[in-house]
A and B are shown apart, each in its own frame.
Chain A
Amino acid sequence: MAAFVWLTIMTALRILGRNRLRAGLTMLGIVIGVGAVIAMVSIGEGAKRAVQAQIATMGTNVIIIFPGVTSASGVRGSQGSAVTLTVSDALELRKRIPLLTDTGWSRRDVMQIVYGNKNWNGPINGISPSYLTIRDWSFTSGGPFTQTDLDSAARVALLGQTIVENLFEPGEEPVGGVIRIKSVPFRVIGVLAPKGQSSQGSDQDDVILIPFSTAERKVFGTSFIGSVGAMFGSTDQVEDLPQAAEQIREVLRARHRLQTEQNDDFTIRTQVDIGKVQEGTSETLTMMLFAIASVSLLVGGIGIMNILLVSVTERTREIGVRMAVGAKRHHIMMQFLIEAMTLSLVGGVLGIALGIAGANLTTVIAGWPTIISGDVIVIAFFFSLVVGLFFGLYPANKAARLNPIEALRYE
């Protein structure tokens, strides 16, 4: 049996080698289908990984709570426009919810920043002590605020990379320099490590961090002392995020004395929620890829079936001779099935090569990150085998059911 299969494979390869153009054109459907799928899956995987990296820049296991919208008069403001969250809310959450390892808060406003003869309009973010820890933010030079800075509302600032690029000369050391925010001088004590784009597409490095106490008392001129622009919390485990979010909701509703029929006056987002939105997008992409793959494999399979039917007709006499010398039905069947699978497998392998080349080319030319996963290659290989088997069955069966007398007489 092994000798039979081996010889049949060799025969199939030789027959295909004889009609190279025909075999090539027949395989083209499979080649293009498999190639397109591999290339697109690689690009998709690359994009997914990039998005995951972006989400990770939020920090580790982060929950963000925004104040709700102002809707008392029926006119709805933008998110965060209401002053419903306060520093004491954040402290209370920390006290009441053991799942939260830390809570923090911040308030931001866009203001003009001046250094030497340069100026820049950037967001100023007044932050609580724990903000840097929750957001997992490190430094390229200098260091964080000290407790004294926070207690004394010191005029010290941490600069994001974008700010540094726009206010300082290349190579100039910002730490130790003095910038002015709304004409208040601030000493730069640290430069933040770059985080890049957020998952919403904004530049996270275009930011100046100052102590919350300083922002509240010396820069923003807040009318409600203690009101914050956003609160943050973090948990030890990713799995705890949904439960923590639910508990936060309960505590805040109680503190804000909301009746059952009233809507929340705040919005809670966890890192998992944000990830889910992205996953939804990539699932849609995957479904589309499946559709494209199915159609191209179907077309490729029909091509193989077509050429095999032609081959069965052309080789009717040969089939007759084989039957006369003792080939049984399964022998003839196997011969054509192996030919079909050889076509589809060679097509599949060429397709895989094409796909990998395409993905690499995309990285080189367009600069998109691509990730070629072994899984998709194995699946593509397996599918091309199945396509050959499935679409080879009908022609193979047709050949095996020929009457040897008529086959021998066929002109």
Chain B
Amino acid sequence: MSSLIECEDVWKVYRVGDVEVQALRGLSLTIERGEFVAIMGSSGSGKSTLMNMLGCLDQPTKGCYRLNGIEVGGLRPDELAGIRNQQIGFVFQSFNLIPRTSALENAQLPLFYRGLSLKDQRAQAAAALGRVGLHGREDHYPTQLSGGQQQRVAIARALVTSPSLLLADEPTGNLDSQSSREIMGILEALNRDEGITIILVTHEVDVAAYTAREIVIQDGQIRSDRWTKARPPSRQVEVEI
């Protein structure tokens, strides 16, 4: 069985006017199922581009990116949308909940595009809200929720489809330290108890400390990739074989 994420010599080149910007320069990376990874780096290092690529919002200019064995490079926009819907959950720094729409409906959103019946959508979204400790707040609007609660709705929205990969882009960037700890606690528990693969972009060392693997990006390449905690058992077994 292939790894969850396989990047081989991935390049991403933009053209801004006459200037060519090389956001990713021959980056190679493998992430297994069940890992909890932090991607760090200064702004302009290419970590956002990498996240967009891993999240199938973007495609490499050159090189190969396989998610769950699927080559993402040649897919059309609607096929990418399908993969995002089936495989990926997003958590953003600014929550990105749809305004004036209840927590339940926000959590329902990915299922809405799966064409599930309204009843199933509601049931699954309510269950996802329960998993992040928002039971009883289904009808609250984003403005009626604290920052930490809003981010938990966003996590519920990411979880509701049972994705193989959860991408969190600075999930605690807009939160106070108390809420940050709560959110990281939830993510850590999801990884530990349910084996969900989580990739986290952050520039805060104490946030990165929750993860097991730290990848530092600089100038579109990996500068360092180290394990801060023990590797997940599945990977160790594979290596031994």
Residues in A lying within 8 Å of B, measured CB to CB: 1, 3-4, 6-7, 14, 18, 317-318, 320-331, 404-405, 408
B60 within 8 A of A: no
- The reply to whether A328 and B110 form a contact with Cβ atoms under 8 Å apart is no
Q: In the complex the two chains form, what is the Cα distance from A165 to B55 in whole Å?
A: 93
Interface string of B113-146 (1 = CB under 8 A from A): 1111110010000000000000000000000000
Contact flag A326-B118 (CB < 8 Å), given A18-B100, A321-B98, A408-B96:
no
What's the minimum C-beta distance from A181 to chain B, rounded to whole angstroms?
86
Q: Which residues of A contact B112 (CB under 8 A)?
A: 4, 7
Interface of A is mostly: helix
Minimum CB–CB distance from A326 to chain B (whole Å) comes to 2
Quick one: CB contact mask for B201-236 with A, threshold 8 Å, 1 for yes? 000000000000000000000000000000000000
Smallest CB separation, B116 vs chain A (Å): 7
* B28 interface residue (CB < 8 Å to A): no
Q: Are A408 and B115 in contact (CB under 8 A)?
A: no
For the complex with contacts A320-B96, A328-B78, A408-B96, 4 further pairs of A-B residues with Cβ separation under 8 Å are A324-B90, A327-B113, A328-B81, A329-B78
* Given A324-B55, A326-B85: A3 and B116 interface contact (C-beta under 8 Å): yes
Q: Give B residues with C-beta under 8 Å from A.
A: 52, 55, 57-58, 77-78, 81-82, 84-86, 90, 92, 96-100, 109-110, 112-118, 121, 157, 161
Cβ–Cβ < 8 Å partners of A317 in chain B: 96
Residues of B within 8 A of A326 (CB): 81-82, 84-86, 110, 113-114, 161
Chain B residue nearest in CB terms to A401: B77
Question: Least Cβ distance of B118 to chain A in Å?
Answer: 5
Closest 8 CB pairs of A and B: A326-B85, A325-B110, A328-B78, A326-B113, A328-B81, A321-B96, A326-B84, A3-B118
In the complex, what's the smallest C-beta–C-beta distance from B229 to chain A, in angstroms? 29
> CA separation between A351 and B89, bound complex, in Å?
45
CA A405 to CA B57, docked complex, whole Å: 6
Could you give 16 example pairs across A and B, Cβ below 8 Å? A1-B115, A3-B115, A318-B98, A322-B113, A323-B84, A324-B84, A325-B109, A325-B113, A325-B157, A326-B113, A328-B77, A328-B78, A329-B78, A405-B57, A405-B58, A408-B92
Judge whether A323 and B96 touch: CB under 8 Å: no
> Considering the chains assembled together, what is the distance between the CA atoms of A322 and B90 in angstroms?
11
- Chain B residues positioned under 8 Å from A330 (CB to CB): 78
